[in-house]
A and B are shown apart, each in its own frame.
Chain A
Amino acid sequence: MSDFRYAVNVLPKPGILDPQGRAVEQSLPHLHVTSVSSVRVGRRVELTVSADSEAAALAVVDGLAKELLSNPLIESYELELLEATSSAASK
């Protein structure tokens, strides 16, 4: 068994209203920033999966991302493998 550390990055889909992104964008003039646009605010979840292989870990994370961490109707997600460590040695 190995431990796989993943990040799940969730963002509102293009075209979906993102009031948080809009609020951030509207606050930019207060910081005298005029060169920034198209702000989107999402969510990042990091988690560790214990699995026999990276493929097995990926399947678990992907399922979670689809079912729980994002709503496919309004959000898209990307998975990022951060770290893989063998947990056999420590157990």
Chain B
Amino acid sequence: MRIGVVTFPGSNSDVDSLNAVTIAGVEAVSLWHESPDLHGVSAVILPGGFAYGDYIRAGVIARFSPVMGGVKEFAAAAGLVLGICNGFQVLAEAGLVPGALLRNRSLRFAGRLVDIKPERLDSPFTRSATGAPMRVPVAHGEGCYYADEAMLDELEARGGVLFRYVREDGTPATDPDEPANPNGSLRAIAGVCNAAGNVAGLMPHPERMSEAILGTDGGLGVIRSLIESAAEWEAAGRPHAPGRAVAPAKTKVEAGR
């Protein structure tokens, strides 16, 4: 089994992502933005960076690149796609996950460590996480998650929120201006998935916290989750029905540690 990592012109976390997949024990394959061919990979990561210079809006030009044609088809066939940081912005612009990423409320680039907590542990992207807050870096200028109230309610109702920024006590940093919320995201949302549950995006960088030499490998749970889910999907013969690769929401992580 192999996991693909897309390189757009301006990607800068592609090698980190390839490295994290390798550390997790699976072959990582680099996918070039100019070809829609995904080379038979079992899951796709859209990495962080500044694809196409982030011109117009972060992610929008990348959305029209040839590789995204392949990614869209793969996602429609229930393949697992994880967008990290700029990859999340690309997925949001492509309409593959709901919402939009606005300029950080502070207008400053946020480059520091934050605490995030998985909202549920039965998603393909969090099943190997512990449920405890994980400390991971953010590095973005446009990470303020936005959707209108109705969309946010719908997202929450279907369990579409995967990660939230949390305070030191583990409670969600829902005040958009508090320091634990690095960009002003509504409802402290750091990561979401689509309705079928097979496409997810998050702003922080778990792949940059995936080996002990970096201080902690706390982010590896996300990468491991993706790999395990992709392996199951392959073993089941790539079931096409949306959601079949995905367990429904059963457990909800309690607030607090």
Bound form: Cα–Cα A43–B60 in Å: 15
Tell which of A20, A23, A43, A74 touches B100, judged by Cβ atoms closer than 8 Å. A74
Residues of A within 8 A of B114 (CB): none
Q: Which residues of chain B (62-106) have a CB below 8 Å from chain A? A: 64, 93, 99-100, 102-106
Bound form: Cα–Cα A23–B105 in Å: 10
Bound form: Cα–Cα A17–B144 in Å: 10
Interface centre among B57, B61, B105, B144 (most CB of A within 10 A): B57
Residues of A within 8 A of B107 (CB): 19-20, 23
Contact indicator A19/B103 (Cβ below 8 Å) = yes
Per-residue 0/1 for A18-40: is the Cβ within 8 Å of any B Cβ (1 yes, 0 no)?
Answer: 01100100000000000000000
Bound form: Cα–Cα A55–B104 in Å: 38
Bound form: Cα–Cα A69–B144 in Å: 19
| B88–chain A nearest beta-carbon distance, Å | 14
Bound form: Cα–Cα A70–B184 in Å: 21
Tell which of A23, A43, A68, A74 touches B146, judged by Cβ atoms closer than 8 Å. A74
A89 close to chain B: CB less than 8 A: no
Contact indicator B103/A68 (Cβ below 8 Å) = no
B214 close to chain A: CB less than 8 A: no
The 4 A-B pairs at the shortest CB distance, nearest first, are namely A74-B100, A19-B107, A73-B100, A19-B103
B contact residues vs A (CB 8 Å cutoff):
56-57, 60-61, 64, 93, 99-100, 102-107, 144, 146-147, 184
- 19 example contacts (A-B, Cβ-Cβ < 8 A) are as follows A16-B102, A16-B146, A17-B144, A19-B102, A19-B103, A19-B104, A19-B105, A19-B144, A19-B184, A20-B103, A20-B107, A23-B107, A43-B56, A68-B61, A71-B57, A73-B100, A73-B147, A74-B100, A74-B102
